[in-house]
Amino acid sequence: MVMDGLGDRAVEELGWKTPLQAARRPNLNWYAENGANGLVDMIGPGIRPGSDTSHLAILGYDPRKVYTGRGPFEAAGTGVVGKKGDVAFRCNFATVDKNMLVADRRAGRIKEPDTTELVTAFDHLMIDDITITVKPATEHRAVLLLQGPGLSPHITDVDPHDEANVHEAKPMSPEAAKTAKVVNEFVRLSYQKLDAHPVNQRRKREGKPVANILLPRGGGVFPDIQPFPEKYGMSGSCIAGVSLIKGICRVCGLDIIEVEGATGGKDTDMKAKARAAIEELKRKDFVLMNVKAADITSHDGDAKAKVEVIERIDAMVGELRAGLGEEVVVAFVADHCTPIEMKDHSGDPVPLMIYCKGIVKDPVKQYDEGSAGQGSLSRIRGMDILPILIDKAGRAEKYGA
Ligand code: ZN
Ligand code: ZN
């Protein structure tokens, strides 16, 4: 179980405790007392992880080898998974005038069902020998997938990131010339297809900004990732509300389990997630569950809300404790620290707890950033977590005779 952005630094408002230390957390502490504890540098000491790179590490992949940028993982979060060499971009639906001047980068924060209807304009689209797929993502966002020979993600952004003229994609290396040409043609076509679209005519009548162009940015190539079931000989599932986490897990070959009420927001139904994980473990060898809420309160800089969220997470942990069989190896970890003070991710290590039948208890009695380092797992890298869990589960192959 990954508690997103759970780790923190000492906060003055909380009497120089971390939100985790300030929260009532009987269930997490029960696990800490009965399990083995340690600290994790998700990527390396002092490296500030994104949620994407940290989840790759937790799944035992070296982010420095397989992370190719946010685009492909974001695309996979919406269900668009390309093969090695395919290129994905994040896009915004935006409003432009006739001179390609951006009036609204988010087209009035357009969302479903308008975006879902608009993307049908790109069904069965090919530009030269490249197959084009467009899928709506959250709110005004969409993803663009290019599939075909000779693609490269190394082009400049079309999105001007401001109310300025739409940029022309330029290749940053000679190999990217074809991709830049295809993307520029796609942007031109998007204006042509969307400006006159019935959804936009309706929006005009309703006085809403039209979404008459798609602006790609942040391209990335789909990496060559050995699927999780092949790499470990285990079936696996992911339970997460956040699209990017689903994308990471989908690219790694995990099944995505949708849980009603699991939104990835502060209002997410955590206990429903816990029940789903318990059920899923009856069918699968491995489940990764992500709970996002603590990270959101940190980005908001709201210490009190973070303490409350942690207490709700603890209640969910109680649900897991009651429902998981003794054959299950349980691990609790944060994917990174998100200090309230920084409102962003830091490179601090995060607490890890591993519990299973027969585990040798260490002296740690509480689950938090300060206590975990006194545990028997001491200080490891994110990539080390899964091999340890596999060994605890009796699934590790012997190295040597
Ligand atoms: Zn995260
Ligand atoms: Zn975050």
What one-character DSSP code corresponds to residue 17?
B
Q: Is the confidence at residue 389, as pLDDT, over 90?
A: yes
Q: Residue 263 — very low, low, confident or very high, per pLDDT cuts 50/70/90?
A: confident
How far is Cα of residue 354 from the mean position of the Cα atoms in its chain?
23
Q: Residue 245 — very low, low, confident or very high, per pLDDT cuts 50/70/90?
A: very high
Of all residues in the chain, the percent with pLDDT exceeding 90 is 91
pLDDT (mean) for 219-238: 95
Q: Is the confidence at residue 102, as pLDDT, over 80?
A: yes
Ligand nearest to the CA of 290: 1
Distance 51 CA to ligand 1 centre (A): 4
Q: Is the confidence at residue 284, as pLDDT, over 90?
A: yes
Residues measured by CB to lie within 5 Å of ligand 2, the ion: 5, 295
Ligand nearest to the CA of 333: 1
Q: What angle do CA 85, 89, 95 make, to 5 degrees?
A: 155
Ligand nearest to the CA of 53: 1
Q: Is the confidence at residue 194, as pLDDT, over 80?
A: yes
Whether the pTM exceeds 0.85: the reply is yes
Of all residues in the chain, the percent with pLDDT exceeding 70 is 100
User: Which token pair is 29?
Assistant: 């502490």
Given this model, what pLDDT does residue 233 score? 96
d(CA 371, CA 365): 8
Distance 50 CA to ligand 2 centre (A): 7
Distance 130 CA to ligand 2 centre (A): 34
pLDDT (mean) for 377-399: 97
Given this model, what pLDDT does residue 218 score? 86
Residue 27 burial class via C-beta count within 10 angstroms: exposed 0-12, middle 13-18, buried 19 and up:
buried
With contact defined as beta carbons under 8 Å apart, do 36 and 354 qualify? yes
Q: At what angle do helices 243-251 and 70-77 cross, to 10 degrees?
A: 100
List, by residue range, all CATH 3.40.720.10 domains of the chain. 2-67+225-392
Residues measured by CB to lie within 5 Å of ligand 1, the ion: 4, 51, 335
Given this model, what pLDDT does residue 261 score? 79
pLDDT (mean) for 358-372: 98
DSSP letter for each residue of 336-388:
SB--TTTTS-B---EEEEEE-TTPPP-S--S-STTTGGGSTTEEEEGGGHHHH
Ligand nearest to the CA of 350: 1
Average pLDDT, the chain: 95
Distance 4 CA to ligand 2 centre (A): 7
Ligand nearest to the CA of 245: 1
With contact defined as beta carbons under 8 Å apart, do 130 and 202 qualify? no
Given this model, what pLDDT does residue 295 score? 96
Q: Which of 28-42, 226-240, 258-272, 347-361 has the lowest mean pLDDT?
A: 258-272
Q: Which of 142-146, 217-221, 228-232, 274-278 has the lowest mean pLDDT?
A: 217-221
Ligand nearest to the CA of 51: 1
User: Which token pair is 220?
Assistant: 């990335």
Q: Residue 269 — very low, low, confident or very high, per pLDDT cuts 50/70/90?
A: confident
Given this model, what pLDDT does residue 260 score? 87
Q: Is the confidence at residue 381, as pLDDT, over 90?
A: yes
DSSP letter for each residue of 169-208:
P-BSSGGGHHHHHHHHHHHHHHHHHHHT-HHHHHHHHTTP
Distance 145 CA to ligand 1 centre (A): 25
How far is Cα of residue 301 from the mean position of the Cα atoms in its chain?
20
Q: Is the confidence at residue 71, as pLDDT, over 90?
A: no
Q: Is the confidence at residue 42, as pLDDT, over 80?
A: yes
pLDDT (mean) for 268-277: 91
Distance 152 CA to ligand 2 centre (A): 28
Distance 299 CA to ligand 2 centre (A): 6
d(CA 33, CA 6): 19
d(CA 46, CA 30): 29
d(CA 56, CA 147): 24
d(CA 137, CA 143): 7
CATH number for the region 2-67+225-392 comes to 3.40.720.10
Q: Is the confidence at residue 291, as pLDDT, over 90?
A: yes
Backbone angles phi, psi at 89, to 5 degrees: -125, 150
Given this model, what pLDDT does residue 67 score? 93
Q: What is the pLDDT of residues 294-309, one digit of tens each?
A: 999 999 999 999 999 9
Half-sphere exposure of 182 (CA within 13 A, CB side): 30
d(CA 123, CA 125): 5
d(CA 69, CA 157): 14
With contact defined as beta carbons under 8 Å apart, do 144 and 89 qualify? yes
pLDDT (mean) for 31-51: 98
Distance 241 CA to ligand 2 centre (A): 14
User: Which token pair is 375?
Assistant: 């545990």
Q: What is the pLDDT of residues 122-157, one digit of tens each?
A: 999 999 999 999 999 888 999 999 999 999 999 999
Given this model, what pLDDT does residue 349 score? 98
Q: Is 143 helix (H, G, I), strand (E, B) or coil?
A: strand
Alpha helices in 109-176 (DSSP H): 114-119
